[in-house]
Structure 1
Amino acid sequence: MWNLIVTTALAGVAGTGLGGVVGALFKKDSNRTASLLLSFAGGVMISVVCFDLIQEAIGTGSGLALVLIGICLGIGVVYVLNTAIDRKTDPEVAHIDKKHPKTADALDELTHANHYNEHRKKGDSPASLFVAGVVMACAIALHNVPEGMTIGASYVSTDHALTGSALILAVLIGLHNIPEGMAVAVPLISGGMNRGKAIFVTALSGAPTILGAILGYLVGDMGAFGLAISLSFASGAMLYVVFGEILPQSILMYRSKLPTFAVVVGMMVGLLMIYG
C-alpha cells in the first residue's frame, strides 16, 4: 500500500507541481501552448482507457454488461457533479452568459479558478474565499480522483506489484498532470497570487490522486467483480473528462487543426508506452 501511495503521490502531486512550475514561467497569454499540451494529454489518456483499462476490465471475466454499466456510471457521476459545480459558479462570473460556449474556453474555467479570482477581486471575506477555494478543489478532484483509481485498480490487477500497466499508468498520469498543473497555476498567478504560493497550491491540488488510488485499490481488491467495477468506473470518468471538458476546451482555446494532431500524437505515444 505504501509503495502505491508514494508512486501515486509522485504522479499526482509531483506531476501537477511540475506543471505549476512550468505555468509560473509562462506569460499570461499561454492559450496556444496550454491547448496543445492538454490535447496531447487527452490523446494519451484515450489510449490508456481504450487500449488498456477497458481491456483489463473485460479480462476479469465479470461480463461485458458489467463493464458497460461501470463506464456509464463513471460518466454519469462526473457529469452530474461537474454540472452542479458549474451551476453554482458560472452565475458569479460576469463573462459567462448566454453567448458563452457551454464548456470551458480558458485555463481559469477548467479549474474554476475564475470563480476564486472573482471573489479575490471583490475583496470578499476570508470565509467566501475559503468556500471558493473548496469549490475549486472539488473541480480539480473530479479530474484527479478517477486518475488515481486507475493506478490503484491496475496495481491490484498486477498482483500488487508496481510493474506493467500500473507503472505505465503512473508515468502517463504524471505526464498528463503537467498541463493540468499549468491550468491551475496560470490563472492563480494572473489573478495576483504569489508565484511560490501558486506553485504550492498547484502541487497540493494533485493530492486527490492519492485518495483515488486508495479507493481504486480497496474496491479492486474485492475480487474480479470489484476490479471490473473499479477499472470501468474510472475509465468512464476519464472518458467524460477528456471528451466533455479537455478536448472541447483545447479547441476553443486555440481554434486551429493543431489540437487535433496533438491528440493523435498523444494517442500514439500512449500506444508506444503500453505496447512498446
Structure 2
Amino acid sequence: MKELFVSYPYLFVFVMAFFNWFMTFLGSTIVFFIKKESQKLVSISLGSAAGIMVAASFFSLILPAINELDNKPTYFLLIIPLGFLLGGLFLRLCDLLLPHEHLISHHQEGLKDSHLSKTNLLMLAMTLHNIPEGLAVGVAFAGNGQQLLSAIILSIGIGIQNFPEGMAISLPMHQCGISKSKSLFYGQLSALVEIPSALIGYSFAKMMGTILPFALSFAAGAMIFVCIEELIPEANATKEIDVGTMSFMVGFIIMMTLDICLG
C-alpha cells in the first residue's frame, strides 16, 4: 500500500476523500427510512460525530505532529500549540464572515445582511464544518509515507463519523419542511467540499514540508473548534442531553480503538 501511495499520492488522497463524501451520502439516505421526527437520533448523530472528531484530532493529528518533532529541540514543540490556536482562529474568522445557521438551535451567525434562504444557510454551516475535515485528511497524508497508517486511520475515522453526520444534516432539513429528496441532495452536497479541501491540504503541506507539524496541529485546532462550537452544543440543544453526551463517549471510543488496534 505504501508503494501505491508513493506512486500515486494525489489519487490516493482523492480516493480517501471520496470515501468520506460517500459515507456522508449513505448517512443522508437515512432520511428515507425515518417516518417521523426523531430528535434523539439527531443528538446521537451529532454526539458520535463529535466524539470521533475529537479523538481523531488527538490520536491522528496532534500525536503525529509531536512525533515529527521527535529529534528537534524542545522549543520546536511550541509550533504545535501555535498551529492549534491558529486553526481555531481561522475557523472563528470564517464563522464571523460566512452567513450560516445552526442545525438544531437555528441560531444564525456571520454577516447579517445576507438574503440567503434557510436551506442555503444550513448548507453553508455544514460546508464550513466539512472544510477542516478535508484539510485534516490531506495534511495527514503529506508525511512522505512515514505516517501513512495514521493518515489512513484518520480518514477511516472521519468516514465513520460522516455517516451520522449525514443523518444530522438531512433529518433536520426534512423536519424544516424540505422534501426527502432535497434533504438527501443537500446533505451529501455539503461533504463534497472535503475532496478539494483534502487535495489542497495535501498540496500545501507537501510544498511546505518543513511545517508539516504546524499543518497537522492547525487542522486539529480547526476540527476541535467545529466540535466545541457546533457539534457538541447542537447535540445537547434538545432534551436528549444525556443521549448526546453518551454518543460522544461512544464516538471517542470508536476512534481511539481504531488507532490502538491498527496503529
**Which residue is 1:57 aligned to?**
65
Aligned equivalent of 1:266, options 246, 251, 261 = 251
Name the amino acid aligned to 1:109: H
**Which residue is 1:9 aligned to?**
18
Please report the RMSD computed on the Cα atoms of aligned residues, expressed in angstroms. 2.8
1:109 aligns with 2:122: no
Distance 1:89 1:221, change over 3 A: closer
Where 1:109 maps in the other structure, the secondary structure is coil
**Which residue is 1:138 aligned to?**
124
Aligned equivalent of 2:212, options 227, 236, 239 = 227
Using the TM superposition, give the Cα deviation of residue 208 of structure 1 relative to its aligned residue in structure 2, in angstroms.
0.7
Distance 2:223 2:29 in 1: 25
Deviations 1:184-205 (Å, cap 9, x if unpaired)?
Answer: 2123323443322331232121
1:72 aligns with 2:80: no
Distance 1:233 1:262, change over 3 A: same
1:47 aligns with 2:55: yes
1:18 aligns with 2:26: yes
Name the amino acid aligned to 1:7: M
**Partners of 2:85 and 2:218 within 8 A in 1:** yes
Stretches of structure 2 that go unaligned for 5 or more consecutive residues are 1-9, 109-113
Distance 1:258 1:6, change over 3 A: same
**Partners of 1:185 and 1:199 within 8 A in 2:** yes
Distance 1:24 1:229, change over 3 A: farther
**Partners of 1:219 and 1:227 within 8 A in 2:** no
TM-score, normalisation: structure 2: 0.81
Distance 2:105 2:125 in 1: 11
Moved more, 233-242 or 20-29: 20-29
Aligned equivalent of 1:156, options 142, 147, 167 = 142
TM-score, normalisation: structure 1: 0.78
Distance 2:81 2:205 in 1: 17
**Which residue is 2:182 aligned to?**
197
**Which residue is 2:160 aligned to?**
175
Distance 2:238 2:199 in 1: 34
Using the TM superposition, give the Cα deviation of residue 55 of structure 1 relative to its aligned residue in structure 2, in angstroms.
1.1
1:35 aligns with 2:43: yes
Using the TM superposition, give the Cα deviation of residue 270 of structure 1 relative to its aligned residue in structure 2, in angstroms.
1.0
Name the amino acid aligned to 1:263: F
Identity of aligned residues (%): 28
Distance 1:29 1:107, change over 3 A: same
Name the amino acid aligned to 2:93: V
The number of residue pairs the alignment matches comes to: 244
Distance 1:78 1:28, change over 3 A: farther
